[in-house]
Amino acid sequence: MPMYEFVCDGCQNQFEELVFSSDEQVPCPKCGSPRVTRVLSICAVKGDDGFRSTAHGGGGCAGCKPGPGGCSGCH
């Protein structure tokens, strides 16, 4: 179950969503529009002192724990 980032084409809301299949429709949680665009998400990279997020300000991606035991999909 990969988590993807999306941007709503209508209201420009940026959000994350678990997607179970590639053809699943993902509506914007803010305005309900079905017109959303999946964006490239850079989750985390491992440095000398542990995992650091490059996209979310250093705390790891949403739903992930930095370091050992974190999300296997992005580490």
3 state SS of 31: coil
Say which CATH number the domain at 28 has: 2.20.28
Report how far residue 3's alpha carbon sits from residue 43's, in angstroms, rounded to the nearest whole number.
Answer: 10
Residue 26 within any structural domain of the chain: yes
* Model pLDDT, residue 56: 45
Residue 73 within any structural domain of the chain: no
Contacts of 64 (CB under 8 A, 6+ apart): 43, 44, 70, 71, 74, 75
Residue 20 within any structural domain of the chain: yes
9-65: pLDDT as tens digits:
999 999 999 888 878 899 999 999 999 999 876 665 566 666 555 544 444 455 555
- pTM, two decimal places: 0.54
Residue 25 within any structural domain of the chain: yes
16-27: pLDDT as tens digits:
998 888 788 999
